[in-house]
Chain A
Amino acid sequence: NAGVTQTPKFQVLKTGQSMTLQCAQDMNHNSMYWYRQDPGMGLRLIYYSASEGTTDKGEVPNGYNVSRLNKREFSLRLESAAPSQTSVYFCASSESSSPRQRQPQHFGDGTRLSIL
């Protein structure tokens, strides 16, 4: 009954270092998403993947890249970390991304990332 699993749970990086956040879902969902959560700002969409093989930019994509490795896995990469990327990162998945189907998204527990 895992749902959406994110690794690692915590990470501290130095400015300029690179890192990949991992996300996997076991619900056979087609769509996956990466968000960042900052105090007082709710969650903001970084990238999403409507289906296996496709990725698209969200609201705040600068400084990030993503890979939809297969249907289960969607990774987020910081190529050169900056202090402004200190945040909590959430991965989510949904059965469908179609607006007509109105499916909710299911979230992982987050990765708490600090950039020094």
Chain B
Amino acid sequence: AQSVTQLDSHVSVSEGTPVLLRCNYSSSYSPSLFWYVQHPNKGLQLLLKYTSAATLVKGINGFEAEFKKSETSFHLTKPSAHMSDAAEYFCVVSENYGGATNKLIFGTGTLLAVQP
């Protein structure tokens, strides 16, 4: 069965510095991987997705992630953090659930704080 591990529950960076949010997955076949962002009292917004095309995936708001099969990782990065990036980020793998639907398996989330 698929699973997702987000290695840091909290990450704090200064505005203008790089962001790295780490995610490892386990999957028995070629997975679909996603990063979602959740701002306070809001739903989840899709940042980017990997679906077996290019291994470097670019998303919205300057975020990108690289799929590394040998390391079973899908880390999220951004070159320069902005105050508006402060939110909770979820790494998600899509599982073939009973053969009929793509159930999403969520990591436990990483809370990103951006200091001025």
Contact = CB atoms under 8 A, between A and B. Distances in A.
Interface string A1-23: 00010000000000000000000
B102 A45 contact: no
Main secondary structure on chain A at its contact with chain B? loop
Given A102-B94, A107-B43, A97 B101 contact: yes
Given A106-B46, A107-B43, A107-B44, A42 B103 contact: no
Given A42-B106, A42-B108, A50 B101 contact: yes
Given A99-B94, A99-B96, A102-B32, A45 B104 contact: yes
Contact of A102 (B43, B44, B46, B51): B51
Given A40-B108, A99-B96, A104-B34, A90 B43 contact: yes
Contacts of B32: 99, 102
B102 A98 contact: yes
Contact of A99 (B34, B43, B45, B101): B101
A48 interface: yes
Contacts, number: 69
Interface string B45-60: 1100101100000000
A16 B98 CA distance: 33
Interface string A86-116: 0000101010011101111111111010000
Given A42-B106, A42-B108, A97 B43 contact: no
Contacts of A90: 43-44
Interface string B61-92: 00000000000000000000000000000100
Contacts of A42: 90, 106-109
B103 A41 contact: no
- Which 4 residue pairs spanning A and B have beta carbons closest together? A42-B106, A97-B101, A107-B43, A99-B96
Interface of A: 4, 31, 40-45, 48, 50, 56, 58-59, 90, 92, 94, 97-99, 101-110, 112
9 contacts: A41-B108, A42-B107, A43-B106, A44-B106, A58-B97, A59-B103, A97-B101, A103-B102, A109-B42
